[in-house]
Amino acid sequence: MKLIIFDCDGTLVDGQHLILDAMGSACVACEVPYPGDEAVRQIVGLSLMDAIEICHPQENQKTHLALKDAFISRFQELRQRDEDQEPLYDGVRDMLEKLHGDGFILGVATGKSRRGLTNTLKNHGLGDFFMTLNTADDGPGKPHPSMLINAMNEVGAEPENTVMIGDTTFDIHMALAAKVAAIGVSWGYHDRGKLIGAGAHHILDHISHIRQGLNETIL
């Protein structure tokens, strides 16, 4: 049994537009400086509180909690709009269909909330591809290995037959901590150099190259 676990934002979908808008609005609401788009992109993938604490280290816990509430409120408001602000990356659907058809077990490990992930998968019609879903609501966030360990336990996979695919160093560190193969993707929010430096076993430049990455890791 071979298990492939994907990150969501920055790997399957480009969710930065919602995240940047929500963080900017939260900063305005709480009257704190906005750290800038690039700083926010660098924390995509972490649980929301971890991300806020990293972006606003000078603020106290009360402000962090206020930022969290304001972020969630704005994010949910944006999700109610009709336009698709979390587009799938090119080739993702075809890749998932191919892997699913070939008998791979697929999963997601994300810093999104359970509600957020469910909405994203529903909006793109991707829910049926995944057997295991782990989110920030299910335990410690990235880079703690808990989500990957839970996924392997849920489907009965072993570390040597499991690969994590993601766009950030948090994904790579989580994979290594869980003793599974780590594949980075170059189209997300952390650059190739950071992914290699974090210890990625392979880097994908397009999702269609996934077979090569798998051949070098778990196949």
Which residues are catalytically annotated? Answer: 7, 9
* Interatomic CA distance for residues 190 and 28, integer angstroms: 26
Number of H-type helices and E-type strands within the chain: 10, 6
Of 128, 111, 81, 116, nearest to 11 by C-alpha is: 111
Query: What angle do helix axes 146-155 and 169-177 make, rounded to 10 degrees?
Result: 60
8 A C-beta contact, residue 3 and residue 107: yes
User: Which residues are 184's β-sheet partners?
Assistant: 166, 203
Beta strand extents in the chain (DSSP E only): 3-6, 105-109, 132-134, 162-166, 181-185, 202-204
The dihedral sign for the CA sequence 35, 194, 51, 127: positive
Which amino acid is located at 32 in the chain? Answer: V
